[in-house]
Amino acid sequence: MRMRLDELAEILDGVVVGDGSVEITGVAGIREAQEGDITFLVNPKYESYAATTKASAVILANDHKRISKPIIQIDNPYLAFLKAVRLFKGDTQKVEVGTHPSAVIGKNVKVGRDVSIGPLVVIEDDVVLGDNVALMASCFVGPRCRIGKGTFVYPNVTLREDVVIGERVIIHSGAIIGSDGFGFAKDGEVYRKIPQVGNVEVGDDVEIGANVTIDRATTGTTLIGRGTKIDNLVQIGHNVVVGENSIIVAQVGISGSTEIGKGVTLAGQVGIVGHIKIGDYAMVGSQAGVTKSVPSRTRVSGYPAAPHEVSKRLHASLKRLPQLLKQFKELDKRVQGLEREKEDAEASKDD
Amino acid sequence: MRMRLDELAEILDGVVVGDGSVEITGVAGIREAQEGDITFLVNPKYESYAATTKASAVILANDHKRISKPIIQIDNPYLAFLKAVRLFKGDTQKVEVGTHPSAVIGKNVKVGRDVSIGPLVVIEDDVVLGDNVALMASCFVGPRCRIGKGTFVYPNVTLREDVVIGERVIIHSGAIIGSDGFGFAKDGEVYRKIPQVGNVEVGDDVEIGANVTIDRATTGTTLIGRGTKIDNLVQIGHNVVVGENSIIVAQVGISGSTEIGKGVTLAGQVGIVGHIKIGDYAMVGSQAGVTKSVPSRTRVSGYPAAPHEVSKRLHASLKRLPQLLKQFKELDKRVQGLEREKEDAEASKDD
Amino acid sequence: MRMRLDELAEILDGVVVGDGSVEITGVAGIREAQEGDITFLVNPKYESYAATTKASAVILANDHKRISKPIIQIDNPYLAFLKAVRLFKGDTQKVEVGTHPSAVIGKNVKVGRDVSIGPLVVIEDDVVLGDNVALMASCFVGPRCRIGKGTFVYPNVTLREDVVIGERVIIHSGAIIGSDGFGFAKDGEVYRKIPQVGNVEVGDDVEIGANVTIDRATTGTTLIGRGTKIDNLVQIGHNVVVGENSIIVAQVGISGSTEIGKGVTLAGQVGIVGHIKIGDYAMVGSQAGVTKSVPSRTRVSGYPAAPHEVSKRLHASLKRLPQLLKQFKELDKRVQGLEREKEDAEASKDD
């Protein structure tokens, strides 16, 4: 595909500044872009690339200062870039409709229209697949699972029994959905397994990263709300409830029965204890260890997690502590000096 | 199934308080329970649900205060709940005995009675499977592995060569047992692989979570002791030895050659360096970074891990530090004041 | 195999001290070794085993003090041990050349000489496999992947489309290479997926651990440099670039677009934010949270990561803080005492 910059701007609903006749033939990140590509610039860390990128044009936010290249000005450059990528690259995942002869399909499986079932997929009994579902190679779909329309499942995904997946969900390779919750009853020295007889439900438009694990509920349902995006290697415990449109970055761990609100951001490697609530739109900083509930629209960080401003102040104070220890010693000496003098004075009075 | 509360109490070996004629038809968590369900209450965080749960009866500890519903009083409510779940829900995992025709079985494989080998399972040469073993879809069992009686392996598990699994073990999907230890010899700038020629042995009644990785020993054996329970996404390095009946929560990492005692609890996201010992019944707090050996029956937390009381005191002190810095400044000024006065006094003496 | 110690010393290019006629029949770690085995000793923590090991001989560094057993003295005992393991144990992974009939092979797949394609492997269209490549059971190789000579892929590995793997690479079970990067554009409350149309390239002699995830670039390439070794459960984000001969220990997370230099060591559970640079030969301590770029040849630790000496000093200071708080109170009282006396003195003057 090729088009003029001003044609592209019209599609993206942006405004050209500079030469609108430049021909755009592709789309790339600012560091990788070559002549003919359009790129975008949002992250201030990449400002310096604006001068050196080989891209023929750049998508910029309305309030961004002009650069020497032709640009498209727009409210949301990320979104515009997304549209440009779709336009120039298309959908890269093409799968063939139909069932590969090597797939193993159970009894009473209901399959919608235009479904793709890849090689060596295993589908157990009583599964329901909506229209346009794609299950790539070697996926396992347990008994009684239901998968909504347009959901795309990459190779080697495991859905245990009774898992319910919404529409347009994307599940990446190696994800395990519906594994047993980690529940045991202590019986003397020994732990006895508490059977995990609940399930997992995943809302529409959720994305689940590679090698993520989401445990089924002990009883009831572990819930992932509509539109939530989960990065790789995240652990979600039994009976956790995650709200809508939340972001859970790689390697986060959420313990059993905790509730995550909507619009929440959990940064990378965060750990959250069980049985607490993270309020709507809360933000938890990377590697934070959250030990108690977090109110809505607040930001916490550190271990144990505290309001971000408090954590920052504590850390800033800590940096001054070695100096304080020295100064304290000096002050102590000065006070000793004053005390000695006083004693001397009193002694001389006594004379 | 349905039974009267007093009948259930007899089976569970508990005491009914309230109306023993209530009919119980199911079992559920306190938040999910509906009429006819029995539930249980142990976690103080859920006390408030005692008033609002729709459950028809509640299992409570002997020392718990009475509530308005009919209850079963018992020593260990967790254990009683476990039994109730088994009673009402049965074993949810039913697998067909026999070998699915799509499975690929090597030479000299010994298979016990009533074994289930699912679709697309691969079993290499010289494997031994005990009675009642279940291998679900797409598992890989490497050469010379031995799996004990009654062990249940969920789909997509990988057992590398020479792994030995005990009896009644449960292995969840995506677990990798017997991957190479991370061992390299530095040769100038370059790292040369040290072949990992040991194996892994897993004791009876162990449970291994989804996407767990347990590395084989360099030489000798990586050992997981009988009755130990391992949550999802845990990493266990080469030559690690874990004792009996320990609990390893999600995303813990244990470096090579470290020894974990029996009855130990490692909370979520703990990291432990290599070549140390964690004593019997020790407890390590979530996200702790353990850099040296931990004595038996102690509790450590923080980074680097210290006795929990010490960590708590340090943290409490840290919270007072910003205030201390201010107070120090003021005190310094007051001492300056005293010093100035003294100088003035001396100066006036000199006059 | 069996040989005299002095024969082995000659092969390893080391010097025998003690009885060179001792017969060596195997190789093992110092704790596991039996009579007839040779072992090695480098880690000071294992010094005490030198007296108790049943090994018939020990490989020691040139500068190590003598022990009572026959030894081979050598510059690099790790490397010598590696060679001894290879000598006595051989290559334990033997795979059959050829394609298993259960494998599913796409169109236009180019296969080199002596390639092994295991049972239930899926290879999509237009893949190129170099000579001596081994793909073990149930691996998935996406469209247009290229795998270099002598690369060994363990069971259940997923390579998504367009991934390029170098020569002599080792990929452990459960690894996912080329999963989508975690990129979304916010559109009001909702996150829209940014298509991830780049790929992943892995250099020669890289090792990738079990259940590792390496995301494909948004556009361009996520790069793992030649000779780098990656432990289990590591997460590498989109557009990350890792240099040559770096070591990435288990459960590390590297966020998008960060650059890791060559010869870098990232210890276990480290987290690194996106869009920064870790300089050549830098060392990052376990569990550190790196929030800004790290200069070459420096060592950082802690959260947020600071130069290791600074982190250590801060921690040492912190341990003195509870005591300081007490001392401060006392000093404050002493100053109050001085102030009171001064006031009394002034009051008496006024009299």
Q: What is the pLDDT of residues C49-96, one digit of tens each?
A: 888 999 999 999 888 888 889 999 998 898 898 889 888 887 656 788
Nearest residue of chain A to residue B94 (CA atoms):
A143
Annotated catalytic residue within C238, C275, C308, C315: C238
The C-alpha angle with vertex A237 and arms to B251 and B307, in degrees rounded to 5, equals 50
Q: Which residues contact A248 (CB under 8 A, 6 or more apart)?
A: A228, A229, A230, A231, A234, A236, A242, A254, A260, A266
Contact C182 A209 (CB under 8 A): yes
Window 120-149 of B: residues touching C by CB (8 A cutoff) are: 120, 122, 138, 140, 142
User: CA B212 to CA B54: how far, in whole Å?
Assistant: 37
Exposure string of C105-123, with b = 16+ CB inside 10 Å and e = fewer, is: beeebebeeebbbbbbbbb
Residue type, A172: H
Q: Which chains form contacts with chain C, at 3 or more CB pairs under 8 Å? A: A, B
Give C294's DSSP letter.
Answer: B
Q: Which of C248-252, C325-329, C341-345 has the lowest mean pLDDT?
A: C341-345
Nearest residue of chain C to residue A46 (CA atoms):
C275
- Output the average pLDDT for chain C: 94
B156 to chain A, closest Cα gap in Å: 7
- Which residues lie across from B141 on neighbouring strands? B123, B159
* A79 in contact with chain C, both atoms CB, cutoff 8 A: yes
Contact A91 C195 (CB under 8 A): yes
Instruction: Write the pLDDT tens digit of every residue in C173-185.
Output: 999 999 999 999 9
C-chain residues near A86 (CB < 8 A)? 195
Residue type, C132: N
Contact A180 B172 (CB under 8 A): yes
Q: Which chains form contacts with chain B, at 3 or more CB pairs under 8 Å? A: A, C
> How many CB atoms are closer than 10 A to CB A20?
17
Contact A182 B81 (CB under 8 A): no
User: CA B298 to CA C90: how far, in whole Å?
Assistant: 44
Best of B38, B211, B244 to disrupt the A interface (most A CBs within 10 Å) is B211
Instruction: Write the pLDDT tens digit of every residue in B189-242.
Output: 999 999 899 999 999 999 999 999 999 999 999 999 999 999 999 999 999 999
* C247 in contact with chain B, both atoms CB, cutoff 8 A: yes
Calculate the alpha carbon distances from C298 to B188, B191, B318, C79, C281 in Å. 19, 20, 28, 26, 7
The predicted structure's pLDDT at residue C91 = 63
Going by pLDDT thresholds of 50, 70 and 90, the confidence category of residue A342 is confident
The predicted structure's pLDDT at residue A45 = 81
Taking the mean position of all CA atoms in its chain, how far away is CA C124? 31
* C45 in contact with chain B, both atoms CB, cutoff 8 A: yes
Contact A191 B229 (CB under 8 A): yes
* C263 in contact with chain B, both atoms CB, cutoff 8 A: yes
User: CA B76 to CA B61: how far, in whole Å?
Assistant: 6
Instruction: Write the pLDDT tens digit of every residue in A78-96.
Output: 889 888 988 888 765 678 8
Does the pTM surpass 0.90? The reply is: yes
Q: Write out the two tokens for C12.
A: 């390893």
C-chain residues near B338 (CB < 8 A)? 335, 338-339, 342
- Output the average pLDDT for chain B: 94
A-chain residues near C251 (CB < 8 A)? 251
Which residue matches tokens 């020479």?
B162
Higher pLDDT, C32 or C9: C9
Instruction: Write the pLDDT tens digit of every residue in B252-297.
Output: 999 999 999 999 999 999 999 999 999 999 999 999 999 999 999 9
Instruction: Write the pLDDT tens digit of every residue in B108-131.
Output: 999 999 999 999 999 999 999 999
Instruction: Write the pLDDT tens digit of every residue in A136-158.
Output: 999 999 999 999 999 999 999 99
Of A27, A119, A315, nearest to C122 by CB-CB distance is A119
C-chain residues near B313 (CB < 8 A)? 322
* C215 in contact with chain A, both atoms CB, cutoff 8 A: yes
Portion of chain A with pLDDT greater than 90, in percent: 81
The predicted structure's pLDDT at residue C92 = 58
A49 to chain C, closest Cα gap in Å: 13
Going by pLDDT thresholds of 50, 70 and 90, the confidence category of residue A32 is confident
B46 to chain C, closest Cα gap in Å: 32
A119 to chain C, closest Cα gap in Å: 7
* C299 in contact with chain B, both atoms CB, cutoff 8 A: no
Closest CA relative to residue B197, chosen from C265, A73, C133, C82: C82
Nearest residue of chain B to residue C26 (CA atoms):
B219
* A160 in contact with chain B, both atoms CB, cutoff 8 A: yes
Q: Are C270 and C288 in contact (CB under 8 A)?
A: yes
Closest CA relative to residue C203, chosen from C220, C173, C226: C226
Going by pLDDT thresholds of 50, 70 and 90, the confidence category of residue B90 is confident
Going by pLDDT thresholds of 50, 70 and 90, the confidence category of residue C329 is very high
Q: Are A214 and A200 in contact (CB under 8 A)?
A: yes
C-chain residues near B334 (CB < 8 A)? 335, 339
- Burial class of residue A339 (count of CB atoms within 10 Å of its CB; 0-12, 13-18, 19+): middle
B-chain residues near A271 (CB < 8 A)? 251, 268-269, 286-287
C120 to chain B, closest Cα gap in Å: 7
B306 to chain C, closest Cα gap in Å: 11
The predicted structure's pLDDT at residue C138 = 98
ipTM reported for the complex, 2 dp: 0.92
Q: Which chains form contacts with chain A, at 3 or more CB pairs under 8 Å? A: B, C
Q: Which residues of B are catalytic?
A: 238
